[in-house]
Structure 1
Amino acid sequence: MSESSSSIAGTDFTQGIPATDIADGGMVTGHVGEEPVLLVRRAGELFAIGATCPHYGAPLADGLLVADTVRCPWHHASFSLRTGQLLRPPAQDDLKCWRVEQRDGRAFVCEALPAVRPPELTAAQLPGSVVIIGGGAAGNAAAETLRREGYQGPVTLLSADSALPYDRPNLSKDYLAGTAQAAWLPLRSPTFYTDHHIDARCNIRAVKLDPAQKTVMLSDGSQVTYDALLLATGAEPVRLTVPGANLSHVRVLRTLADCDALIARLGTARQCVVVGAGFIGLEVAASLRTRGLQVHVVTPGAHPMERVLGEALGKMIRTLHESKGVIFHLGATVTEIESDRVKLSTGEVLGADLVVTGIGVRPEVSVAQEAGLIVDHGVSVDEFLQTSARGVYAAGDIARWPDPRTGDRIRVEHWVVAERQGVVAARNMLGATQRFTAIPFFWTQHYDTAINYVGHAEHWDRVDIEGDPGAHDCTVTYWYKNRRLAVATVGRDLDSLRAEVAFEQATPA
């Protein structure tokens, strides 16, 4: 629970509570009927909203109040206290709100307030139609935002994936570990797209974009036209090129189909070699250990995840995995894969009836490049996420944008960043001229230990550590030339939220 919060378990807010029980800046959890409710006092006003984040169910009382908003402690979604309206992902839905009344020194939560209605837009300022290429985080967020913002024109969502948009971060975590059901993965039901008049098409690729004619040629030979377009084509896994890399038991994990194919092999697999000690590789290692497989991790680095998180957290992660039985082979690469073994550059030979590679991804920029858009380690966009072609935007893993904090152009391959870019791109299609200034955020989960990371540090010359990484209780700050670039936390959700707010306050408007 947050430092400024209190909790009254089981309190029925319809019966009222003493108003003095809620200090300014305080949060109290109770219920209305069967619904958990969070009662908040902010700047003298009382607000009642749903008590749990609709993303993964985090208790919002453990979160952070910022102005008239509350932020989720786990994954940093933000909601309006006044309306319950979702202000930013990764949550997708608004919170319910109730009217609060004060009388005789008590605060009562009364009837539910009506949901926020989409604004009325002026048709003359809007695109006649919108096409979104990509059915991942950015593409889905953009489609939903167009409808949330009141756009009523045609929206076409084109996805190369065989499934409608789903919760990709879960693939390497709970779903692969067998602790999450397949039914939990879809971001929305098929009827959601029908009800919101989103023409969502799966198993189809854009093969040619013509910005001058505003047309997109598709893999089935058909063509769609647009007035505004979002490129959100994501990234493709880098694949091994060593002998044996094409054997059937060598797998990557990017899509739901990849994950299901991997899970199908687990019934007979006993020994797995994971190639790569980044986020995907180690989340896969944790999930497979949870299922009881013997797991070896091969990486050329000196510490897992050192390139992104540094030595201290790398050592913590290694110790955590080793405590669960994972065996690391550091400073090594794979030289050959056979049907039942993997050969390493060190001369070691590892038994393996399953090999999973997680050695990075490449942005899928071929359509953009062939269309003549400016491409430089990703699709170049301006601060509004518009590409070099008017009316064409890019978001997610492919977008390389100007970072307002450093002045550098950056590209970030994180789910929440992609969702937030999809939101901003959609709003700008509708004439909002909103700059993308969100602070990058990601989380990674290993067994029951989560690491949250805000900011972006491609390199650093100083690392400050507060707390004890070995106890899974620390804040790690990354600096370059006396500029704080990023903060990683373990077991300190509020520190992560506060770091995010501090970065926002330091970001040029």
Structure 2
Amino acid sequence: MTPKHTNTTGPDLVRGIGIADLPDGSKLVGHCGDAQVLLMRRGPQIFAVDAHCTHYNGPLVDGLVSGDTVRCPWHHACFDLSTGEALRAPAFRPLACWSVEQRDGKIFVVGKRKRAEPTTREPSAEAMPGKIVIVGGGAAGFAAAERLRREQYAGSIVMLSDDEAPPVDRPNLSKDYLAGKAPEDWLPLRGESYYSKNQIDLRLGTQAVRIDPHTREVILAGGGSIFYDRLLLATGAEPVHLTIPGADQPHVHTLRSLADCRAIIEQAKTAERVVVLGASFIGLEVAAALRSRGMDVQVVAPHKQPLGRVMGPQMGDFIRALHEKNGVVFHMEDIASSINGNEVVLRSGKTLTTDLVVAGIGVRPRTSLAESAGLTVDRGVVVNCFLQTSAPGIFAAGDIARWPDPYSGEDIRVEHWVVAERQGQTAALNMLGQNEKFAAVPFFWSQHYDVRINYVGHAERWDKIEVEGDIAGKDCLLRFKRDGHLLAAASISRDIDNLTIEVAMEREMAAR
């Protein structure tokens, strides 16, 4: 998505550095030709890999080394230092690895190693499905298909998507792409040739209308059906649409798909004013993106403060102040009652003049296929720790899945991109009979102007927020606790702390 980072920062590793310049446990960035290389020493072992994450080019030297892995400070992708393998989304592409020699008290990088095939676990013959169907072309669906092929699965993969665009990097739709700071060719998770090259039958504009678990068929709109041995439901969520008078006008939008984003951008080229309905993450990211285009932005939301229910009052106040500093006007504890042409009428009686309206008032899981198939549904599609639904051979992942979280001990459903990708990866392994429990700690990030907020864990309720550092100074860590137990943490400019908490949560789950 971002161009490969190359320059000659740091020492020339071909000429070598002194062993004393790389103390045990330390990291160092140098260059080999025009490629930046990260060196990491752990005892007698010295690893050399690409210096930047393959997701958004995050600087791995600022990341966390845990065992034989390195984690990206920006969005928590994880890589194997020995092989470069991308172990966890949001990165899928591996890091290049470099050969290292030690002689005469110096460390030399002597060339890039040939890419080795990733180690895969061989499923039993009876567990190997002949045909896997994935319903959904979003984060979970793509991650599952990619992982199946990475695991050397040789059977048929059919991916059904009712979208007209191939899987894209959806977080960018409300961030850099909407702001006009990223070209559209950054958005596809893979180019069109990837699917044909890897024999993934991606069917765009194709709607699944029913599932028959008894005959193992997916029934398509317009007739026709597809047989499956294993089925992954990754239908995601859909925006909650306005039902007020005037909500059907052409300048009123929601934002979920690439087509939605293109439509907003097209109108933003001539619009001067926008009203954003909802102070959710998506709503506020839209507000920040459109402010960067020079538009006048007003936000209307029913709560006392933006994001207070998710981030707490301290962070909520900071986020509001940040947006106000950048020129956004808030109308909190209010809602729109009607849209009359260029006027948005609020319940309070205020009238806001606008050229464009974007509604970010929430999403709902798309569970209708699961419900009609008789699967257990309870505020989402209920799955077990292996992401299996109540029907044999059917799995669910992403925004629709409600799973038993081993950290909190509760059944949860999370609407976050990285969670969906990681669940897709785990579902892929389990469709191949590998019986891997989903135990990834939830993670998401949100971008507001120059401020990135990282959030790890999941806290629907808490009784205490411990604040470390200075929120207004954009250098802080917030711990969300209930009954003394840490549930989640949010941070600004404290990436290592955030990653360290993620690792600690993983270890706590593994020890149970």
TM-score range, shorter chain: over 0.9
Measure the CA separation in 2 of the matches of 1:380 and 1:199.
27
User: Cα offset for 1:120?
Assistant: 7.3
| 2:4 aligned partner | none
| 1:149 aligned partner | 151
Measure the CA separation in 2 of the matches of 1:192 and 1:52.
23
Go from structure 1 to structure 2 and tell me whether the alpha carbon gap of 1:443 and 1:337 turns closer, same or farther (over 3 Å shift). same
Measure the CA separation in 2 of the matches of 1:264 and 1:474.
37
Measure the CA separation in 2 of the matches of 1:18 and 1:269.
59
User: Cα offset for 1:81?
Assistant: 0.7
Q: Match of 1:41, as an amino acid?
A: R
Asked if the contact 1:385/1:393 (under 8 Å) is kept, the reply is yes
Q: TM-score if structure 2 supplies the norm length?
A: 0.96
For each residue in 1:378-397, what CA deviation from the matched residue of structure 2 results, as whole angstroms up to 9, or x when unmatched? 00000000000111100000
Asked if the contact 1:164/1:190 (under 8 Å) is kept, the reply is yes
| 1:31 aligned partner | 31
| 1:44 aligned partner | 44
For each residue in 1:142-201, what CA deviation from the matched residue of structure 2 results, as whole angstroms up to 9, or x when unmatched? 000000011011111111111000000000001110001011100000001111111111
Is the counterpart of residue 58 in structure 1 residue 58 in structure 2? yes
Q: Match of 2:239, as an amino acid?
A: P
From 317, 323, 326, the equivalent of 2:325 is 323
Q: Match of 1:341, as an amino acid?
A: E
For each residue in 1:50-108, what CA deviation from the matched residue of structure 2 results, as whole angstroms up to 9, or x when unmatched? 11001001110010000110000100000011111111010110001112111111111
Q: Match of 2:146, as an amino acid?
A: E
| 1:71 aligned partner | 71
Measure the CA separation in 1 of the matches of 2:115 and 2:49.
12
Q: Match of 1:141, as an amino acid?
A: A
Go from structure 1 to structure 2 and tell me whether the alpha carbon gap of 1:13 and 1:371 turns closer, same or farther (over 3 Å shift). same
Measure the CA separation in 1 of the matches of 2:80 and 2:273.
49
Measure the CA separation in 2 of the matches of 1:97 and 1:34.
15
Measure the CA separation in 2 of the matches of 1:360 and 1:184.
26
Q: Match of 2:98, as an amino acid?
A: W
Asked if the contact 2:136/2:235 (under 8 Å) is kept, the reply is yes
Measure the CA separation in 2 of the matches of 1:356 and 1:482.
40
Partner SS for 1:467: strand
- Point out where structure 1 has 5 or more consecutive residues left out of the alignment: 1-7
Measure the CA separation in 2 of the matches of 1:34 and 1:429.
42
For each residue in 1:14-36, what CA deviation from the matched residue of structure 2 results, as whole angstroms up to 9, or x when unmatched? 21111111111111101112211
| 1:202 aligned partner | 204
For each residue in 1:240-264, what CA deviation from the matched residue of structure 2 results, as whole angstroms up to 9, or x when unmatched? 1111111111100000000001111
User: How many equivalent pairs are there?
Assistant: 502
Alignment of structure 1 residues 96-175 onto 2, 5 Å:
96-118=96-118, 119=120, 121=122, 123-175=125-177
Asked if the contact 1:474/1:491 (under 8 Å) is kept, the reply is yes
Measure the CA separation in 2 of the matches of 1:220 and 1:61.
53
Partner SS for 1:386: coil
Q: Match of 1:355, as an amino acid?
A: V
Asked if the contact 1:204/1:220 (under 8 Å) is kept, the reply is no
Q: Match of 1:162, as an amino acid?
A: E
User: Cα offset for 1:440?
Assistant: 0.2
RMSD between aligned residues: 1.1
Partner SS for 1:355: strand
Measure the CA separation in 2 of the matches of 1:360 and 1:120.
40
| 1:237 aligned partner | 239
Measure the CA separation in 2 of the matches of 1:310 and 1:217.
44
From 409, 421, 424, the equivalent of 1:422 is 424
For each residue in 1:291-318, what CA deviation from the matched residue of structure 2 results, as whole angstroms up to 9, or x when unmatched? 1111110011111011110111111100
Measure the CA separation in 2 of the matches of 1:302 and 1:506.
36
Mean alpha-carbon deviation: is it higher for 9-18 or for 31-40? Answer: 9-18
| 1:485 aligned partner | 487
Is the counterpart of residue 387 in structure 1 residue 389 in structure 2? yes
Asked if the contact 1:414/1:442 (under 8 Å) is kept, the reply is yes
User: Cα offset for 1:346?
Assistant: 1.3
| 1:279 aligned partner | 281
Measure the CA separation in 2 of the matches of 1:372 and 1:115.
45
Asked if the contact 1:85/1:116 (under 8 Å) is kept, the reply is no
Is the counterpart of residue 85 in structure 1 residue 64 in structure 2? no
Go from structure 1 to structure 2 and tell me whether the alpha carbon gap of 1:120 and 1:314 turns closer, same or farther (over 3 Å shift). closer
Partner SS for 2:399: helix
Alignment of structure 1 residues 189-228 onto 2, 5 Å:
189-228=191-230
User: Cα offset for 1:348?
Assistant: 0.8
Mean alpha-carbon deviation: is it higher for 494-503 or for 317-326? Answer: 494-503
For each residue in 1:359-410, what CA deviation from the matched residue of structure 2 results, as whole angstroms up to 9, or x when unmatched? 0000000001000100000000000000001111000000000010122100
User: Cα offset for 1:125?
Assistant: 3.1
| 1:15 aligned partner | 15
Asked if the contact 1:176/1:288 (under 8 Å) is kept, the reply is yes
Partner SS for 2:468: strand
From 454, 457, 473, the equivalent of 2:456 is 454
User: Cα offset for 1:9?
Assistant: 3.7
Is the counterpart of residue 270 in structure 1 residue 272 in structure 2? yes
User: Cα offset for 1:43?
Assistant: 3.2
Measure the CA separation in 2 of the matches of 1:158 and 1:424.
19
Mean alpha-carbon deviation: is it higher for 103-112 or for 255-264? Answer: 103-112
Q: Match of 2:34, as an amino acid?
A: E
Partner SS for 2:175: helix
Measure the CA separation in 2 of the matches of 1:490 and 1:95.
26
Partner SS for 1:15: coil
Partner SS for 1:460: coil
Partner SS for 1:498: helix
Q: TM-score if structure 1 supplies the norm length?
A: 0.97
| 1:412 aligned partner | 414
| 2:398 aligned partner | 396
User: Cα offset for 1:270?
Assistant: 1.2
Partner SS for 2:95: coil
Measure the CA separation in 2 of the matches of 1:231 and 1:111.
43
Partner SS for 2:29: strand
Q: Match of 1:16, as an amino acid?
A: G
For each residue in 1:234-286, what CA deviation from the matched residue of structure 2 results, as whole angstroms up to 9, or x when unmatched? 00100111111111111000000000011111122111110000100000000
Measure the CA separation in 2 of the matches of 1:334 and 1:9.
52
Q: Match of 1:402, as an amino acid?
A: P
From 296, 301, 304, the equivalent of 2:298 is 296
Measure the CA separation in 2 of the matches of 1:410 and 1:327.
34
Partner SS for 1:470: coil
Asked if the contact 2:9/2:36 (under 8 Å) is kept, the reply is no
